[in-house]
Structure 1
Amino acid sequence: MANLPKRRCLAPPSDTTATASLDRFLESALAMADPSISIGLSLERILDSTPLQSDKESILDVATRLASALMDASKRSTRKLATAHNLSVWPLTADLTIKVFSMLDTESVCFAAATCSLFSRCASDSLCYANIDLTRSVAKVTNPIVSTMIQRAGKNLQSIKVGRLPQDNNRLDKSPLTGSCLAALVSDGGAAGLLLRKLHLHNLKMKDYNPCSALMACKNLAELEIVGMDGWLDVILRIICKYCHSIERLCLQALGECLCHVEDLTKSCPLLSSLSLRGFGIGDDILSVLIKGAQGLKYLDLSGSLYFSGSFLSDLGKGGGANSLETLILRDCINLRAREVSLFLSAVLYGDWKQLRYVDISNRKGLVVPRGSSGPRTRCAIEVSQVLQRRPDIRLIADYPSEICFYGDCTNSPSPSSDSDSGSSSSDTLSCSLIDSSSSSEEEDSYLSGARLFPII
């Protein structure tokens, strides 16, 4: 049988013709001097030649979708062109760019990521989120944003600072963040929490989730700062004593809250070198035990504290419990007595507190003295003057209201030498007033009976 020629198979329809036709259409449209007018007139002619209203509406719908698709394609092409340009002109490699971004604050990294695709890829690296700081962000920061950043940091996570810093000492300026923003520290068996070394929480809302479970996962934490989370701090302190034994710097600030477990810090946190307890109700006996037990304590800030009178200072000086202390801040402590301050300064002059280099005993309302007694006022004035003259290695800050001066005439008050290394200004201890107690007795108890209260900074 003779071989007959095979029939040619019909090829499947190809999009080549349609694509070429569309390319020619776009080339023609883009080549027009003013394509908007020409395309508009062409669309009107098509509509005029279409008799049915439904067909006209369908044509307009297709034209609208075509215009939208053309706009989106144009934007994508613009971004691709910009990315190619940035890649050609950006002088740094991707590794160096990531290293530079890792040195920026978190908000700047986010702004850089929104600039172009090149920066977005570099800013998504985990190194850029090793130190998360959103306390100064002007944009609204939400819990999912913080959680995403923690997850993005991965194994490079080192520090987290979230919340809203107080503005003009406004304690009611709460952050929109809540405790649940830290939930990512507990996920995956608390892997992220084990990596964390520094945690700052400012004015968070504790309504849906408290930070205690997150702190339990942060067993290697070296620095913790919590401000404005009243009602939780005593619980948090117990968590610190139980789980966070590597703490070196601890800063807690509240409004009149009493701490019941603060003396346990010395046993649980042997590396503690900096302690700030601002605005708490703490007695002299607890402070004496605390500081004597913290052998390596170098920095102590008790600003705005409510209860102690200052007698713990004498106990520490006699027992040598403050040999390592370099900085002592007792600013605006409500019940701080002039007599105890005088005894403390006298001990400084006689050789105690050898490592001390900075002291702040300022008070917006003055110190507490018994009514009718001028002895504590005079002795305190003399001791302040002598410390400024004989211990230039110590910077003494003692700013008080100017209505009553220690020396009678502020202009004749002695001031530290201008060439000393103390760094104290000429305003130190020049204008100082003391609060008179309402009690007529000059005994020790009269100091606390008439103490005036005032807002805490």
Structure 2
Amino acid sequence: MDNAALDAALSACSSLLDLEIIGLHVELKQTLESVSEHCHLIERLFFESSKTGRDDSLKLPICNELVNNCSHLAFLALRGFKLHDVKARVLVKGFRKLKYVDFTTSYSITGAFLKNLGGSAGGNLLEVLILRDCMHLKEVEVARLFSAVLAGDFKKLRHLDICNREGLASDGDWYCRCYSPSFIPVERLLAVRPDFCLLAEFPPEGSFAEIDQMVGNDVNSGFSEPYSLSSRTSDGSLFMTSEFSYNSDQGSGNEDSQDLSFVANDESSDEVDFLSG
């Protein structure tokens, strides 16, 4: 099934509530255009790229159209796309019923899209946020998210996945990776969110260079003994757990670091207020 065939199928599905796409060779841009045009009642959208890390087709106008035309969306999973922060922000901020977000292996996301989203505008209904294996996810942005949670934002967030088989990126140098969750204020989080579930597994320090080499040789990477983060309170209850392993068949999708200079000339800059301040 190609883009045209999928559009034809969706055109007959005006009452569609749930759409899951895995393994089809269709573009993100064309697919979201079709959903936006034909499926105004959709509540759940799960789309996993068939060419992990190489689909960069999505543009801001399509994000805006999807937000405006599919206002019932509560579950959004876009996995394996080059989804820049500015586009992720438009989507998360725009959907007023959004509770579940999964951007697994979205290689361009740094986490900056979450800034100031946990209050009254966008993101305040989020219950589940999955940023697993987002290669450009930054330690500083994750730390900022925790600060926002401690300050009372993201009040309904109960599940966060920041596991990364290549570690988190440092603020100044993308190749300098963070392999330790020591920056996470576990005790303080536990005090304000006793039901919060955090998944934060990272590989042993120094593994990133080996992975980069393996990816260059088109070899799939995996870890049989990933770093497992768990913390027990004084009464012995488990706060953080992980149920996953890193035996993955997805490549790294290594690319040049783009930091926050990703807004193309043909894109609107209306949604980049989070870059300042």
Post-superposition Cα deviations, 1:200-236, rounded to whole Å, max 9, x if no partner, equal xxxxxx49x7222111001100000001223433212
Alignment of structure 1 residues 125-204 onto 2, 5 Å: 179=1
State the percentage of identical aligned residues.
Answer: 37
Pick the aligned partner of 2:122 from 321, 325, 330.
321
C-alpha separation in 1, matches of 2:169 and 2:101: 21
Match of 1:416 in 2: 232
Give the Cα separation in 2 of the matches to 1:381 and 1:420. Answer: 19
Deviation track 1:166-220 (CA, whole Å, cap 9, x = no partner) reads: xxxxxxxxxxxxx3xxxxxxxxxxxxxxxxxxxxxxxxxx49x722211100110
Indicate if the aligned counterparts of 1:357 and 1:395 stay in contact, CA closer than 8 A.
yes
SS at match of 2:91: helix
Which stretch of the first structure deviates more once superposed, 242-251 or 385-394?
Answer: 385-394
**Where does residue 84 of structure 2 map in the other structure?**
283
Q: Distance in 2 between matches of 1:353 and 1:372?
A: 27
The one of the two structures with greater contact order (alpha-carbon pairs below 8 A, sep at least 6) is: 2
Equivalent of 2:71, from 257, 270, 289? 270
Q: Compared with structure 1, are the counterparts of its residues 270 and 420 closer, same or farther at alpha carbon in structure 2 (3 Å cutoff)?
A: farther
Equivalent in 38, 55, 62 of residue 257 of structure 1:
55
- Determine helix, strand or coil for the equivalent of 2:66: helix
Aligned counterpart in structure 1 of residue 21 of structure 2, from 226, 233, 245? 226
Q: CA deviation at 1:322?
A: 1.1
Matched residue type, 1:393 = D
- Post-superposition offset of 1:314: 1.3
SS at match of 2:32: helix
Please state if 1:339 is matched with 2:137.
no
Cα separation, partners in 2 of 1:421 and 1:250, compared to 1, 3 Å: farther
Q: Is 1:242 aligned to residue 43 of structure 2?
A: no
The residue number in structure 1 matching 2:275 is none
Measured in 2, the distance between the counterparts of 1:215 and 1:378 equals 43
Per-residue deviation at 1:380?
6.1
| Bigger proportion of residues as helix | 1
Is 2:119–2:154's contact at 8 Å kept on the other side of the alignment? no
* Higher mean C-alpha deviation, range 384-393 or range 342-351: 384-393
Number of equivalenced pairs: 222
Residue 420 (structure 1) shift: 4.5
Alignment-mate amino acid for residue 316 of structure 1: L
Find the residue that maps to 1:402 and give its secondary structure: coil
TM-score (norm 2): 0.69
Structure 2, unaligned stretches of length 5 or more? 207-226, 245-255, 262-277
| C-alpha distance in 2 between matches for 1:387 and 1:287 | 28
Mapped contact 2:92–2:123 kept (Cα < 8 A): yes
User: In 2 relative to 1, CA 447–262 (structure 1 residues): closer, same or farther, beyond 3 Å?
Assistant: closer
Shift of 1:292: 1.3
Compute the displacement of 1:402 (Å): 2.5
Q: Structure 1, residues 346-376: CA drift from partner, whole Å, max 9, x if none?
A: 11111110000100001000010135999x9
Equivalent residue, structure 1, for 2:204: 402
In structure 2, C-alpha distance between the alignment counterparts of 1:355 and 1:286, rounded to whole Å: 23
Please list every run of 5 or more consecutive structure 1 residues that lacks an aligned counterpart in the other structure: 1-178, 180-205, 405-410, 429-438, 440-444, 450-457
Distance (whole Å) between structure 2 residues aligned to residue 299 and residue 257 of structure 1: 22
Structure number, greater radius of gyration: 1
Q: Which residue of 2 aligns with 1:307?
A: 108
Q: CA RMSD in A?
A: 3.5
**Cα drift, residue 273 of structure 1:** 0.3
1:382 CA displacement: 2.9
Residue 388 of structure 1: CA displacement? 5.1
Structure-1-length-normalised TM-score = 0.43
Q: In the aligned structure 2, how far is the partner of 1:291 from the partner of 1:326?
A: 12
- How do 1:200-219 residues align onto structure 2 when only pairs under 5 Å count? 206=2, 210-219=5-14
> Structure 2 counterpart of 1:281, which letter?
K
Deviations 1:96-138 (CA, angstroms, capped at 9, x unpaired): xxxxxxxxxxxxxxxxxxxxxxxxxxxxxxxxxxxxxxxxxxx
